[in-house]
Structure 1
Amino acid sequence: MTDDRTPSTEAGTTAAEPSPWNLPNALTVLRILLVPVFVWLVLRHGGDDTASRWWAWGVFAGAIITDRIDGDLARAKGLVTTFGKVADPIADKALTGAGFITLSMIDEIPWWVTVIILARELGITALRFWVIRHGIMPASRGGKIKTFLQALAIGLFVMPLHTFPLEDLFRLLAGGVLLAALVVTIATGVDYVVKALKLRTTSDRARMKRDRKAAGGH
C-alpha cells in the first residue's frame, strides 16, 4: 500500500527531491535517444528495406515498453523528479510524432492524419501552459486510450506489411486502429479544451480575481 503524503525527514521539514540520476530517468533519456535510431531505420532505403522495418518495429516496441516501466518504477521506488515529469511527456511526444511523420514520408499514413494528430498534441500542450496558473490538467482515461491507440497504429504500420501474405487484411486492421486513434485524439482534444475553459473560470485564482474586481467596483 502506497502513501501519497510528502515524505519528511524531521517534523516540519520535507525530504529533498530524489536525485535525477536514477534508473527511471535513464530509461526516459534512452527513449529520447532511440527516436533518431527509429527514424533512420524506418526511412532506410525509402522504407522498402524489410529488415530495417522489422528493426524499427523492435526499437519502437522497446521504447514503448520503457515508457511503462519508467513511470511505474519511479512511483514504486519514490524516484519521481522534476526532470522526469518534464522529460517523460517530451519523450512520448517525440516518439509518436516521429512515428507519424516518418510513416507519412514513406506514404504509409496520409499526411492529413499526421497533421491533425500533431496539431492536437501541440495544441493541448499549449493549452496546459495557458491554464497552468489556475491548476494542472491531469491526463484523462481517454488520453491514455488515445496514446495506446496511436502507439498501436504506428506499430502496425511500421511492420513491412507489403511482405505479408494477407497484406490487404492487415492493412485493413491497421487502418481501423488508425481511424480509432484519430477519432479518440480529436474527441479527447475537445474534452481538454472544455476542461481548460472551465478551469479558468472555476479555479481559486479565478474566484479571487472576481472577488477583487467586485470589491473594487463597490
Structure 2
Amino acid sequence: MTGATDSAVPPVPVFNAANGLTLLRLVLVPVFVALVAVSAMTHPGWRVAACLVFVVASFTDLVDGWIARRFGLVTSVGKVADPIADKALTGAALVLLSLHDVLPWWVTVVILARELGITALRFWVIRLGVIAASRGGKVKTALQVLAIVWYLWPMPAALVPVGPWIMGAAVLVTLATGVDYLVQAWRLRRPVA
C-alpha cells in the first residue's frame, strides 16, 4: 500500500551543519567579550584578536543561513537560535564599545531597541506568516558588522573618523528597515476584508 507516508519528507535533524554554526556563534560571544575586556580597547594585539573573533562569528551568520536554505536544513531550533545568536553577538559588541567610551550610548540603545523589538515582533506574528529578512535587512547587518569591525580594529589615526560615518549609515538603515518590518507585521495582523 502506498500513501502519503511514502512520499513524506524525512524530518530535518536538529544537529546539523547550519545549527552547528549557530551554536559556534553563541560559543564565540563570551570569547569575544573576554578578548575585548582584556584589550580594554587600548592594547592593539588583543583588539585585533577580538576583531578577528567577531569577524569569524559574523561570518557564521552568513554561512549558516545559506547552508540551511541550500540543503534543506531549516529547523524550528535554528529559527529561534539564529536571531538570538545574532543579537547576542551584535549586542555584546555595541555594549562593550559604549562601555569603553568608543561608541555613544544612544547609538547602542537605538540599535538594540530596534533589534529586540523587531525580533519580538517576528515571534508575535509567526503563526500568521514569516517576515523574511529583506535586502535592506542584509544591508543593515553588513553596515553594522563593518562599523563594529572599524571600531574594534586599531585603525591609524587618519582612518578613525570614518567609523562614525559607517555607524551613522548603519543606524539610518537600521531604523528604515525597522519601519519596513512594522509595516509588514501590520499587514499580516490586519484582518482580511
Q: TM-score, normalised by structure 2?
A: 0.91
Contact kept, 8 Å, 2:28 with 2:53, in 1: the verdict is yes
Match of 1:7 in 2: none
When residues 134 and 80 of structure 1 are mapped into structure 2, their CA distance, relative to the original with a 3 A threshold, is: closer
* Superposition map of 1:139-158 within 5 A: 139-158=133-152
Give the structure 2 partner of residue 115 of structure 1.
Answer: 109
- The match for 2:169 among 169, 174, 180 is 180
Q: Give the C-alpha shift of residue 12 in structure 1.
A: 1.6
| In structure 2, C-alpha distance between the alignment counterparts of 1:154 and 1:187, rounded to whole Å | 19
User: For structure 1, which segment, 104-113 or 75-84, has the greater mean C-alpha deviation from structure 2 after superposition?
Assistant: 75-84
Q: 1:190 to 1:95 in 2, by over 3 A?
A: same
Which residue number in structure 1 is paired with residue 63 of structure 2?
A: 69
Alignment of 1:36-75 (within 5 A): 36-75=30-69
Match of 2:4 among 12, 16, 26: 12
Letter in 1 for 2:176: A
Greater than 3 Å deviation, 4+ residue runs: none
Report SS of the residue matched to 1:198: helix
Give the partner amino acid of 1:198. Answer: R
Q: Structure 1, unaligned stretches of length 5 or more? A: 1-9, 211-218
Partner of 1:199: 188
Query: For residues 155-197 of structure 1, what are the alpha-carbon distances to aligned partners after superposition, in whole Å with 9 as ceiling and x for unaligned?
Result: 1101123xx2xx1x31222111100000001111112112222
Q: Over residues 34-77 of structure 1, what are the superposed CA-to-partner deviations in whole Å (9 max), with x where a residue is unaligned?
A: 00110111121522121110000110111112222222222222
Shift of 1:151: 0.7
Q: Distance in 2 between matches of 1:122 and 1:170?
A: 31
Task: Name which one, 1 or 2, has greater alpha-carbon Rg.
Answer: 1
Contact kept in structure 1, 2:39 and 2:47, CA below 8 Å: no
Distance 1:182 1:90 in 2: 20
- Preserved contact between residue 43 and residue 106 of structure 1 (Cα < 8 Å): no
- TM-score by length of structure 1 reads 0.81
C-alpha change, 1:11 and 1:149, in structure 2 (3 Å) is farther
CA contact (8 A) 2:22 2:81 kept: yes
Residue segments in structure 2 that go unaligned for 5+ positions in a row: none
How many angstroms apart in 2 are the aligned matches of 1:29 and 1:109?
Answer: 28
Q: SS in structure 2 opposite 1:171? A: coil
Q: Aligned residue pairs: how many?
A: 190
